[in-house]
Amino acid sequence: MTAFTDAASAQNPAPATAAGEPSEATRAGDAAGASLGRVPGQASVGLSFEPLTPTSFLDRAAAAHGDRIGVVDGDRTFTYTQMRERCMRLAGGLAPLAGGRPVAVLVPNTHVLLEANFGVPWAGVPLVAVNTRLSASEIVYILEHSNAAVLVHDPSFDPLVEEVLARLTEPVRRIRAGQEYEDLLASAEPLHLTPSDELSVLSINYTSGTTGRPKGVMYHHRGAFLQALAMVGHTGMTPSSVHLWTLPMFHCNGWCFPWAVTAAAATHVCLPKVDPAEVWRLIRAEGVTHLNGAPTVLSMLAYASDAAPLEGQPVRIATGGAPPSPAILRRMAELGFEITHLYGLTETYGPAMLCDWRPEWDTLDATAQARLKARQGVGNMISCVPRVIADDGTDVPPDGLTTGQIALRGNNLMLGYLDDPEATAAAVPDGWFRTGDIGVLHPDGYIELRDRSKDVIISGGENIASVEVEQVIMDHPAVLEVAVIAMPDERWGEVPAAYVTLKEGASATEEEIREYVRARLARFKAPKTVIFGELPKTSTGKIQKFVLRERAWVDQEHRIR
């Protein structure tokens, strides 16, 4: 799956094919030099090409800022020199256990998962960062589909992992974070492999998509390298920056920020669980300058009991997953936070677009600024210019009114779905990735989302496939029909709501349906509301989800007023 070379040998010049004869690399350099008007035979002097990989940022951070604190995790701290040494030892310990197969990591936002973003690729294998909110059956599928050989997990997940291991058809090597993990590092010889092909697989990230079965999205080294640099540029990180890990590192490899923060030689502050009081404490105690998260994180901070206007420099927050409400944006601005709205998907390494703020907007009133900030915006600095396309593939006019599907392209587009060429071809039929989201293109070139794929519910930044939840509820012995939609929620943005028709003579309670789903899927996928009754249908018998959706959102608006 991945071709690697040792870092030292990769930096040696290519040998000549025979005495006095140029190597293939030299001949290629001569040809390139000739095309640029250079003298053949001299073009290769000093010629250097290194495959791009985001793990190289740790080499640079250790060389330039090795004595500075790179990681804060509770009462433990590591300099960048120590972090690099630990990652190389992790690579040395994992390589013989993995045997060329991926390594899965089920860990919250601790130094272990941060180290895995460097140590696993240095072992020469792809990283599979597992969503810590998934159920045992979902994790079993991911481990088997990715063909993972090793599972590194946090001790807090011991019961879950025991269930997972018991259900696997093929065993995996289990490593518990803590003493067993530290013993692995202590006994291992440092290893530092780099890819010979920058388009080889760096990581596999699983997403629910629009069906119940997750797809393995393959990232390559080149894309992650460039995406990380884009995040550094757009968020303005420097060696004096302090980044608080409020965004799960398992989400699109933390939007590539494990590598971005390291590229800037900034400080990582790990946070295993997002607790508003702890976030506010760390902001003040550690001098946090940057953090990321879904709009629900903004809501938690904005209305926390510890919330108070920041003293000194503002904290920059990048938010995505759902459009932040104007009210939240205004509240966060009052507290001293600078918000940048991002848009992207697992297939695009996280943020492919952002609402790039224009200085001329600074003079607008708060309401106008909030409205502009809620737009999804323009492509990031390594993306191709995003498109909004009609059903026939043509671009819609930039009038802010005509809707079409958002299509993305660039170096931050996935290699494809693992072992699923049909789904890959359907998602990227012509080199442009179809997001499934509906938007408009404004005259200033900024895109605004108007709707999203009807089968996906985005709750607190998590994707929930309504079809998956429907299939589980339909298995309940009392259920005749079901439709699951997104219902607005003040805290999470939107949550699943189930409309259920029971079989004649059968009975079930709202809590019974919820518990039935919780026993089979991740708990956050269970419907927050269950409504019993007849479902609206077309003349042909098709359930009209849009009718249910309109009712839910109109009713919510009336309640808010």
pLDDT of residue 540: 42
Averaged pLDDT for residues 497-516: 94
pLDDT of residue 212: 55
pLDDT of residue 494: 87
Is a pLDDT exceeding 90 seen at residue 315? yes
Is a pLDDT exceeding 60 seen at residue 220? yes
Instruction: Using pLDDT thresholds of 50, 70 and 90, give the confidence band for residue 480.
Output: confident
Domains of the chain: 456-560 (3.30.300.30)
Averaged pLDDT for residues 368-376: 86
pLDDT of residue 3: 57
Distant-in-sequence, close-in-space partners of 463: CB < 8 Å, separation ≥ 6:
207, 208, 209, 456, 457
Question: Which CB contacts under 8 angstroms, 24+ apart, belong to 299-304?
Answer: 299/328, 299/490, 299/491, 300/274, 300/276, 301/276, 301/332, 301/335, 301/337, 302/328, 302/331, 302/332, 302/335, 303/331, 304/276, 304/277, 304/279, 304/280
**Which of the residue ranges 16-25, 173-182, 410-419 would you say has the lowest mean pLDDT?**
16-25
Q: How far apart are CA 149 and CA 202, in angstroms?
A: 16
Instruction: Using pLDDT thresholds of 50, 70 and 90, give the confidence band for residue 481.
Output: confident
pLDDT of residue 446: 97
Instruction: Using pLDDT thresholds of 50, 70 and 90, give the confidence band for residue 531.
Output: very high
Q: How far apart are CA 103 and CA 86, in angstroms?
A: 17
Is a pLDDT exceeding 80 seen at residue 174? yes
Q: Which two tokens stand for residue 363?
A: 């003079």
Is a pLDDT exceeding 70 seen at residue 539? no
Each residue's pLDDT tens digit, 397-422: 999 989 899 999 999 999 999 999 99
Instruction: Using pLDDT thresholds of 50, 70 and 90, give the confidence band for residue 556.
Output: low
Is a pLDDT exceeding 60 seen at residue 8? no
**Which of the residue ranges 263-272, 401-410, 460-469, 494-503 would you say has the lowest mean pLDDT?**
460-469
Is a pLDDT exceeding 60 seen at residue 15? no
pLDDT of residue 260: 98
pLDDT of residue 393: 93
Is a pLDDT exceeding 60 seen at residue 302? yes
Q: Higher confidence at residue 304 or residue 292?
A: 292
Cβ(314)–Cβ(333) under 8 Å? no
> 């926390």: which residue's tokens?
304
Is a pLDDT exceeding 70 seen at residue 1? no
**Which of the residue ranges 137-146, 325-334, 421-430 would you say has the lowest mean pLDDT?**
325-334
Q: How far apart are CA 290 and CA 298, in angstroms?
A: 13
> 């005509």: which residue's tokens?
402
Is a pLDDT exceeding 90 seen at residue 19? no
pLDDT of residue 43: 46
Is a pLDDT exceeding 50 seen at residue 14? no
Cβ(272)–Cβ(111) under 8 Å? no
The two beta strands, 267-269 and 69-73, are parallel
Averaged pLDDT for residues 83-87: 98
Please give the share of the chain, as a percent, with pLDDT higher than 90. Answer: 68
Instruction: Using pLDDT thresholds of 50, 70 and 90, give the confidence band for residue 544.
Output: confident
Instruction: Using pLDDT thresholds of 50, 70 and 90, give the confidence band for residue 33.
Output: very low
Averaged pLDDT for residues 89-105: 98
Q: What is the mean pLDDT of the chain?
A: 87
pLDDT of residue 142: 97
Instruction: Using pLDDT thresholds of 50, 70 and 90, give the confidence band for residue 559.
Output: very low
Averaged pLDDT for residues 181-188: 98
CA 525 to chain centre: 18
Is a pLDDT exceeding 90 seen at residue 368? no
pLDDT of residue 164: 98
Is a pLDDT exceeding 60 seen at residue 479? yes
**Which of the residue ranges 301-315, 369-383, 471-485, 533-547 would you say has the lowest mean pLDDT?**
533-547
Longest dimension (CA), the chain: 91
Quick count: other Cβ atoms within 10 Å of Cβ 135?
Answer: 18
3-state class (DSSP) for residue 298 = helix
Is a pLDDT exceeding 80 seen at residue 90? yes
Averaged pLDDT for residues 130-152: 96
Please give the share of the chain, as a percent, with pLDDT higher than 70. Answer: 87
pLDDT of residue 288: 98
pLDDT of residue 208: 63
Instruction: Using pLDDT thresholds of 50, 70 and 90, give the confidence band for residue 13.
Output: very low
Residue 531, beta-bridge partner list: 499
Residue 388, beta-bridge partner list: 406
In which element (H, E) is residue 483 found?
strand 479-489
The most confident of the ranges 19-23, 296-300, 462-466, 476-480 is: 476-480
> 């697989």: which residue's tokens?
201
